[in-house]
């Protein structure tokens, strides 16, 4: 196996799902969002671990992402969170998926696909309460809902919305979105349309907006141990990062003062430098924006990335670290001894968010799974149901 690999700690996933379940409370279901191959962690093992830890639904972005989950024997309800083009309706029906819909034509194409297969499909009508991305505007919901209810092979199983900034320090806009959502629900009920499930909360909604824990919550990033507020979070001992990206030094060389390292010669040594080359590059998810600014852990110390990150290789300055050898471990994300580099920190250095850092870890990086181990009951943190 390549020395460059991502180690995924399924015990951490299970602990984070457990936290989501405790925050949600016994009346609210937890949908583990595993889109984009579980934010780079691997959808099938993560979905299994999440279900074992108490999640009762799975969320994906597109129907294709549900196919390997069904093939792996995952039978719980799976919601496709994004809208689909009409030609994907068959895939939704064949795999018995719940589907988010954002307009009437989508519902009609699903109705046709369901009828052709002799099934009834469950639809979740997405209401755009302020995200401004997809969904039906509140004033049109009643008309669309009535038409959906008149279709024969689909049923309106859910009403959903999505927060634009529930991670804000004062999530006031999330409150406004929730009020609009509640108003739509009331209008529909008054019109005799009762929809069994309402859901709105992503991780930030679940963590910071207790009134958003409706019938179902849809956490993603927190299940992977990253905080929706990134580095701006307060002390947050409860989320456990699940991914460690590591490699091993493939070559060590001494570079003399005045010599340069890597493409473009952006690093010129101002003194003699001991350089370690790592077999990891931007094709693996070590972003090129980390050139001359990122750090990695070697022997429990932070060392700087020097020169440009290449597609398959990255150089670090290990001067001053004694007894460095080829084969020594280098950690790009995660812990090594007492030291830690978080996905948030790597994100901040590149002007992005942990989500993108995790999703960008390339397909050629093997994922290695550390099995889920149940914690002793006494180790489970107590929660009041308020913000942790
Ligand atoms: C509709 C929907 N619900 C839930 C989530 C999960 O969000 P997060 O990863 O912020 O918890 C997403 C992710 O973007 C989403 O698009």
Q: What is the pLDDT of residues 214-231, one digit of tens each?
A: 999 999 999 999 999 988
| Alpha helices by DSSP H, the chain | 10-24, 35-39, 43-52, 67-71, 89-94, 104-116, 141-150, 172-190, 203-208, 343-349, 354-359
Residue entry with tokens 């992005």: 352
DSSP element (H, E) containing 247: strand 243-248
Distance CA 129, CA 178 (A): 8
Cα dihedral across residues 91, 97, 102, 103: positive or negative: positive
Structure tokens at 218: 């849809």
Task: Specify the pTM.
Answer: 0.94
Mutate to test the pocket of ligand 1, among 24, 32, 81 (most ligand atoms within 8 A of CB): 81
Q: Which has more confidence, 169 or 254?
A: 254
Distance CA 59, CA 41 (A): 15
Q: What is the dihedral of CA 166, 171, 173, 178, to 10 degrees?
A: 70
Distance CA 71, CA 80 (A): 16
39 assigned to active site: no
| Residue ID of nearest Cα to ligand 1 atom 5 | 202
Active-site residue, selected from the candidate residues 35, 224, 282, 355: 35
Mean pLDDT, rounded, for 257-270: 98
35 assigned to active site: yes
Q: How many CA atoms lie within 13 A of 110 on its CB side?
A: 32
Mutate to test the pocket of ligand 1, among 41, 168, 212, 218 (most ligand atoms within 8 A of CB): 218
Q: What is the pLDDT of residues 241-255, one digit of tens each?
A: 999 999 999 999 999
- 342 within ligand 1 shell (Cβ under 6 A): no
Q: Which residues contact 134 (CB under 8 A, 6 or more apart)?
A: 82, 83, 102, 126, 128
Q: What is the pLDDT of residues 144-157, one digit of tens each?
A: 999 999 999 999 99
Ligand 1 centroid–CA 35 distance in Å is 9
pLDDT band for position 371 (cuts 50, 70, 90):
confident
């Amino acid at each position: 196996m390549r020395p460059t690999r991502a180690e995924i700690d399924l015990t951490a996933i299970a602990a984070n799902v457990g936290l989501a379940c405790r925050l949600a409370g016994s009346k609210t279901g937890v949908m583990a969002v595993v889109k984009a191959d579980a934010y780079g962690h691997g959808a099938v093992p993560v979905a299994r671990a999440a279900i074992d830890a108490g999640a009762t639904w799975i969320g994906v972005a597109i129907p294709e992402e549900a196919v390997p989950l069904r093939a792996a024997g995952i039978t719980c309800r799976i919601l496709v969170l994004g809208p689909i083009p009409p030609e994907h309706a068959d895939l939704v029906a064949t795999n018995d998926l719940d589907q988010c819909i954002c307009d009437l034509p989508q519902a009609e194409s699903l109705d046709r696909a369901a009828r052709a297969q002799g099934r009834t499909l469950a639809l979740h009508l997405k209401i755009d309460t302020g995200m401004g991305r997809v969904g039906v505007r509140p004033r049109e919901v009643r008309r669309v809902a009535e038409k959906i209810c008149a279709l024969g092979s689909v049923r309106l199983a859910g009403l959903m919305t999505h927060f634009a900034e529930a991670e804000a320090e004062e999530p006031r806009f999330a409150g406004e979105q929730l009020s609009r959502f509640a108003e739509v629900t009331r209008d529909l009920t008054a019109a005799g349309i009762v929809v069994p499930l309402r859901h709105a909360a992503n991780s930030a909604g679940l963590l910071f907006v207790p009134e958003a824990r409706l019938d179902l919550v849809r956490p993603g990033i927190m299940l992977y141990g990253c905080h929706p507020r990134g580095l701006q979070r307060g002390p947050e001992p409860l989320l456990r990062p699940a991914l460690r990206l590591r490699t091993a030094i493939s070559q060590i060389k001494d570079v003399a003062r005045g010599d340069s390292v890597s493409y473009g010669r952006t690093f010129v040594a101002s003194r003699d430098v001991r350089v370690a080359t790592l077999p990891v590059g931007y094709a693996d998810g070590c972003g090129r924006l980390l050139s001359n600014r990122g750090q990695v852990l070697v022997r429990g110390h932070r060392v700087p990335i020097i020169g440009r990150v290449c597609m398959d290789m990255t150089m670090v300055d290990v001067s001053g670290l004694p007894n460095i050898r080829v084969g020594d471990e280098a950690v790009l994300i995660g812990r090594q001894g007492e030291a830690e580099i978080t996905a948030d920190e790597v994100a901040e250095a590149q002007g992005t968010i942990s989500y993108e850092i995790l999703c960008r870890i390339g397909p050629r990086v093997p994922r290695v799974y550390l099995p889920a181990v149940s914690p002793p009951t006494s180790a489970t943190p107590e929660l009041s149901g308020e913000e942790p």
